[in-house]
Structure 1
């Protein structure tokens, strides 16, 4: 049992586009009577997820309880960013009753667990649980690895080496560290896809894990809060590809920020993102667009060629500036080509 005097922290991890922000937005609306605080760790320098969550703020989780760490992985900036953020949240009045940390989609959760052993906070907080989100359709299709067949062929050709791709390692480490797995977007995967995704997760998990299907982030808070896992004391049961390494690198991935001009029709922007995913092997696109003549900003979220968009908030007094974050594996990034597709007017002016 976790020490009830400690402030419980839930870590929400998951592959790119698995639905972490949607889950936390729903949790903020239905916190099970708990006063929440949220820490958002983004990959890149645009606080998209933080803005989304602040737009969902309610009395049990006001905007001042939502903090962003937008430059660098939490576990790589423990002393400079993570510890001060946790300490600041604990000094809030009224004090939060539960902290939820949304990690970057590229983050490895186990190094973050190690951060909870820091002397400044280890006697004050405990990891109530690690929640891993997995996109049912993507897992069933094997998209956590760019070319699964090629990786398997390499392993078969040489049994003495392990040719894991960065994406598959991220996925496996997140599952291995979890206390519960939420299988998201089951409607897109269908029954066969859900069954296949569950089989993949069960094969990767180092121990038996509950797997719960979740649509649109809706889950009873009692399922994911109050697990009392004390995960910081249970790291041996959470194996990682990076065990024994002093640090981990994010050089396998890169983010590009693209400022985009106002668009006349959201469908035009969707078509550009779909083209980008096909031509440039882009993993993730997220951000905002200014649609001409519309008083609200357009929230855009894409996983590969699957694009979702909705008007989320009025622009109000904020500058009507469209901006997208594009994430890809390092070897696939071509900033010039990316900007030529998403912001052709800028690319033409630069020529």
Structure 2
């Protein structure tokens, strides 16, 4: 029987560094042929564009498949399975498949999909890698037991039911085979140990932490775990298991983890003369509104390359990636992601003023 192709599921909350981790894997593939399935919250498709803009040999249009029609764990039959089958039907099959889930996705329903007969015969889940923004957790932004998170929820008049943020974050830990504490360089040793101690409460026995800066982790450590996670589902508990007790027919309810409690929209800009000033505006928007994530591309004067900008909470970074393509619409675009009830008009006005 032919050996199954290993697949690694890369999960983690908004802005944890999943795409950066995949980019590092591309840069250090050492001849291994990789295929990528990208699924992100928002309609700009920036994660796929960021990978295509990396300029790394072996990173081609055909190797990066984007699912832009919703959360991958809610649209398994409609989106995920056809995408995987398309990869498997290629004559030049990959050595390894990397799947980046949405920052708001539950990994367990996705792992369960690998038990579908069409997939199980050819692919196995080599491991689930959960990427954590160490700095954000330290600030109490995503930790489920932090007083700051609870106080923020109670103070938000737009929420009339329990916010699933903490449960999504914890589910991503509960399913993990390995946890990457990204941005660890922004914390000291005692702070990292404190985070490890707290997060360990949500991990299965034997799951280890890796520390990373800019999500730079040797692929040899992350790939080849041979976890066969699709055969180990009972050991990976979820806050949302009861939603799937009767899903033998694989009928996944889109509201299982309340994605409707989040908003995302795209802001279109033209030439950005002063990127520092725009970044300052975005920081003020994050502080004034319940924005979780901002990411996009900027058109800059006298620059033949587009500038990537992305932020988690009030922390932003920018860099130039690829050159603008011939015939490509040159304009600045930003995806804004936050809790339900974002004042889109006010946010757009603040950004474009």
TM-score of the superposed pair, with normalisation by structure 1: 0.89
* Deviation readout 1:116-171 (Å, 9 max, x if unpaired): 12222121111000000001111122211599327768xxxxxxxxx964211111
Q: Equivalent residues in 2 for 1:69-218 (5 A)?
A: 69-144=67-142, 148-149=146-147, 165-218=163-216
The residue number in structure 1 matching 2:316 is 307
RMSD of aligned Cα (Å): 2.1
Q: SS of the counterpart of 1:245?
A: helix
Question: Which of 311, 325, 331 lines up with 1:316 in the alignment?
Answer: 325
Residue 293 (str. 1) matches residue 302 (str. 2): yes
Question: Is the 2:40–2:102 Cα contact (8 Å) retained in structure 1?
Answer: yes
Does structure 2 retain, via aligned residues, the 8 Å contact 1:38–1:101?
yes
Shift of 1:234: 0.4
Count of residue correspondences = 333
| Aligned counterpart, 1:272 | 281
Could you tell me which of 305, 310, 335 is aligned with 1:325? 335
- 8 Å Cα contact 1:288-1:322 kept in structure 2: yes
- For the residue of structure 1 that corresponds to 2:284, the secondary structure is helix
Verify the 8 A CA contact 1:137 1:194 in the aligned structure 2: no
2:261 maps to what in 1? 252
User: 1:303: Cα distance to partner?
Assistant: 0.2
Give, in angstroms, the shift of residue 62 of structure 1: 2.8
CA contact (8 A) 2:295 2:309 kept: yes
Q: CA deviation at 1:239?
A: 0.7
1:45 equivalent in alignment to 2:43: yes
Tell me which of 221, 224, 231 is aligned to 2:222: 224
1:342 matched to 2:351? The reply is yes
Runs of 4+ residues deviating >6 angstroms: 150-153
Please tell me whether the aligned partners of residues 116 and 126 of structure 1 are also in contact (alpha carbons under 8 angstroms).
yes
**Secondary structure, in 3 states, of the residue corresponding to 1:316?**
coil
Q: Structure 1 pair 233/173, CA: closer, same or farther in 2 (3 Å)?
A: same
Contact 1:13 1:102 in 2 (8 A): yes
TM-superposed CA distance for 1:292, in Å, is 2.3
Name the structure 1 match of 2:155: none
Asked if structure 1 preserves the Cα contact closer than 8 Å seen for 2:137 and 2:143, the reply is: no
Between 68-77 and 190-199, report the one with greater CA deviation.
Answer: 190-199
CA contact (8 A) 1:44 1:71 kept: no
- Quote the Cα distance in structure 2 between the aligned partners of 1:136 and 1:281: 20
Describe the shift of the 1:151–1:279 C-alpha distance in structure 2 as closer, same or farther (beyond 3 A): closer
Corresponding residue for residue 8 of structure 1: 6
Equivalent-residue separation in structure 2 for 1:119 and 1:32 (angstroms): 32
Provide the C-alpha distance between the structure 1 equivalents of 2:144 and 2:120, rounded to a whole number of angstroms. 38
In 2, Cα distance between equivalents of 1:305 and 1:141 = 11
Answer whether contact 2:69 2:79 (CA < 8 A) is retained: no
